[in-house]
Amino acid sequence: MKNYNMDREMVKDVFYGGIVELMDNRKYYYSSGVSHTYNHWTEEGKKALHDYVSFMTVQIGQAEEEEMDRRSKEFVLKTLKGDSKQSV
């Protein structure tokens, strides 16, 4: 899969959406019509979930680094401009 730079909000949406997609697939997640207490991940689903979280961890790390870089640059520019309202 090609790496795409995602911002924090996009990472959250993709992370949530990916888990929902896995849960919608009976191969990975059993959802009981009787009660949510009977719902469970299948063995294949546990592996898929682990792999997905491992992949998304990289995306989260990249998004956090980019956010920190953006905030640092913003802070430096405000400082150089002499802006007294430095909220980063």
pLDDT band at 1 (very low <50, low <70, confident <90, very high): very low
Name the more confident of 20 and 87. Answer: 20
**Burial bucket for residue 29 (CB in 10 Å: 0-12, 13-18, 19+):** buried
The residues spanned by each domain of the chain are 8-81
In this prediction the pTM is 0.68
CA distance 5 to 85: 30
| Per-residue pLDDT reduced to its tens digit, 8-65 | 888 889 999 999 999 999 999 999 989 999 999 999 999 999 999 999 999 888 888 8
Helices (H), 1-88: 8-23, 43-81
